[in-house]
Amino acid sequence: MTKEIIINATNEETRIAILEDGKLVELFVERPEYERMVGDIYKGRVSRVLPGMQAAFIDIGHEQNAFLHFQDFDASYLDYFVDYEDEEHVDKDHYQTERRFDVYRDLKKNQDILVQIIKEPIGTKGCRVTTGIALPGRFLVLIPGKKHIGVSRKIQNPKERRRLKEIARQIMPPNFGLIIRTVAEGKSDKIIRKDLNNLLDTWHKIERKIKRQKAPTLLYKDMGMASSVIRDLFTSDVDRVVVDSRKLMRELSAYIKDVAPHLKEKISYYKGTLPIFDYYNIEKEIEKMENSKVWLRNGAYIVIEQTEALVSIDVNSGKFIGSRDHESNSLKINMEAAREIARQARLRDLGGIIVIDFIDMNEEENRKKLYNELRKEFAKDRSITKIQEISRFGLIEMTRQRVRPPVLFNLKDQCPVCQGTGMVPTVHAVVGNIERWIQRYRATHGDRRFTIHVTPEVYRYMKKGTYNPLLKLMWKYWVKIKLVEDDTLTLGTFKVFDKDDKNPLNID
């Protein structure tokens, strides 16, 4: 499998596309007004504690308070607020274990607290935070206040896992934990130690800010989107990275030269005149993301609908022409759909609960094949997924870790007319609303003459032929209406003014 990272940088945004065998599988978008937040560390202040919700709201200086669930609470953060000069009797390495902190009893309003963003804000919900701090590097993740060594599960060689664990034991500083990342496989202790020293320098700077700065304040800003993607995803299995910005290419090359110089030759500058995403056929794939219907190569299609509660995915046979055997046809469509669903989940960054309605199959063996295929495809996903077997209703229920809003939130704004429903009032519904407005107005006002502004579609309908709904309204309510065609109005709306078309009329 070939793997490529294509980066398009403009004044307005930076877009990073991950291609596998030439197909778009992941897309990241970052804009100046919407920078990546996951990984940022704040000195916050407790705004509210809600034991009934097992959560607290933390003021970190954003418009919306951050959400801290008690299960994301780790009392080790208290160590960062201890003044060791005044408390000489405290053992710095064991302070946290000796102090018995009860989150229900001891977490108080207006208390300073150290938190890190683990999930970005979505809609009206603020970001989610944890007090368990983790600093990611190229090869290691540094965890202050813990004494734990972990190795990425993707490193499967037992001998290599033992070697990396031994290196970690030798270099691990007191009162810190380490997680060894996948890209550390095969790396020398010298390279890994250098990464650790960089992380320790960063942490010591954060510690100094904790003492000096008042809450709420940002203590540490994680890398930008492009740099973090390179740090986390640019591994030896990536064939190349292509960038259309010389400035960004210099920044990425400088970073890679320092942490993985053998990969520097894989970074290249795009010199073509055609936009880079057009050249790699990425723009067309992004446009397709707006559609809820996704066609498969065999003529079938899937429909993806996102709601507040869950994501529903429906599989349909569409134009598929197979054999006469319904069971065989259903299996072929479902297997192709499973592969595309896994790709779309990564591409659109679908998260939370996902319910998939595959085409019904009667044979247990085929149902098992489909379940295994879906698991195999989602194994390529970096997000944590849990997949249940097919239920007796023919549905597969699964969850996928959600860290950031779906990609479409960055590409599209909510429709001001339909408010995200995808539907607007019909012409008949608008005329009905106008009639009800007239009823309410006549019940409380004596005016019988007024002007109504409507959209062109409604204007044509109300003036239509012998039926003429406008004339019927005037006869029914004994009023004189001047109808004005107004193409500045949004669909489904109308405005009412006095007879001179000057002052708007309202129902008090």
Q: Which two tokens stand for residue 361?
A: 């199959």
pLDDT at 235 over 90: no
Q: How far apart are the C-alpha atoms of 156 and 146, rounded to whole Å?
A: 25
Which tens digit of pLDDT belongs to each residue from 163-205? 999 999 999 998 899 999 988 998 899 999 999 999 999 999 9
Q: How far apart are the C-alpha atoms of 257 and 202, rounded to whole Å?
A: 20
Least confident of 93-97, 149-153, 235-239, 309-313: 93-97
Q: Which residue has the higher pLDDT, 381 or 33?
A: 381
What are the chain's domains?
Answer: 3-35+224-283 (3.30.420.60), 41-220 (2.40.50.140), 292-407 (3.40.630), 427-498 (3.40.1260.20)
pLDDT at 99 over 60: no
Q: Which residue has the higher pLDDT, 96 or 449?
A: 449
* Omega of the bond leading into 173 within 30 degrees of 0 (cis): no
pLDDT at 233: 84
Mean of pLDDT values over 409-422: 70
Mean of pLDDT values over 490-505: 92
- Kindly list the distances between the CA atom of residue 462 and the CA atoms of 222, 452, 453, 455, in Å, as whole numbers in the listed order: 59, 11, 12, 11
Alpha helices in 71-221 (DSSP H): 95-98, 103-106, 158-171, 189-212
Mean of pLDDT values over 454-462: 93
pLDDT at 508: 61
pLDDT at 96: 46
- Kindly list the distances between the CA atom of residue 248 and the CA atoms of 25, 225, 464, in Å, as whole numbers in the listed order: 22, 12, 60
Question: Where does residue 110 fall: left (phi above 0), alpha (psi -120 to 50 degrees), or beta otherwise?
Answer: left
pLDDT above 90 coverage of the chain, percent:
55
Q: If we measure between CA atoms, which residue out of 206, 196, 138, 140 comes closest to residue 171?
A: 196
Amino acid at 216: P
Q: Which residue has the higher pLDDT, 242 or 308?
A: 242
| pTM (2 d.p.) | 0.72
pLDDT at 395: 94
pLDDT at 47: 94
Burial of 454 by CB count in 10 Å (0-12 exposed, 13-18 middle, 19+ buried)? buried
pLDDT at 86: 38
Mean of pLDDT values over 11-24: 88
pLDDT above 70 coverage of the chain, percent:
92
Range 55-64, long-range pairs (CB < 8 A, 24+ positions): 56/107, 57/126, 58/113, 58/115, 58/129, 59/215, 59/216, 60/115, 60/127, 60/129, 60/216, 60/218, 61/216, 61/217, 61/218, 62/121, 62/126, 62/127, 64/121, 64/124, 64/125, 64/126, 64/127
pLDDT at 450 over 70: yes
Give the pLDDT band (50/70/90) at residue 494: very high
pLDDT at 94: 44
pLDDT at 80: 64
pLDDT at 418: 73
Q: If we measure between CA atoms, which residue out of 57, 59, 54, 58 comes closest to residue 70?
A: 54
pLDDT at 98 over 60: no
* Residue 73 and residue 148 in contact, taking contact as beta carbons nearer than 8 Å: no
Give the pLDDT band (50/70/90) at residue 147: confident
pLDDT at 34: 66
Give the pLDDT band (50/70/90) at residue 85: very low
Which tens digit of pLDDT belongs to each residue from 362-371? 899 999 999 9
Alpha helices in 280-363 (DSSP H): 282-288, 326-348
Q: What is the mean pLDDT of the chain?
A: 87
pLDDT at 66 over 80: yes
pLDDT at 89 over 50: no
HEC assignment per residue over 138-172: CCEEEEECCCCEEECCCCCCHHHHHHHHHHHHHHC
Q: How far apart are the C-alpha atoms of 104 and 293, rounded to whole Å?
A: 47
Q: How far apart are the C-alpha atoms of 51 and 482, rounded to whole Å?
A: 60
Q: Which of 27-41, 121-135, 398-412 has the highest mean pLDDT?
A: 121-135
* Residue 109 and residue 49 in contact, taking contact as beta carbons nearer than 8 Å: yes
HEC assignment per residue over 240-264: EEEECCHHHHHHHHHHHHHHCHHHH
DSSP state for residue 501 in the 8-state scheme = S
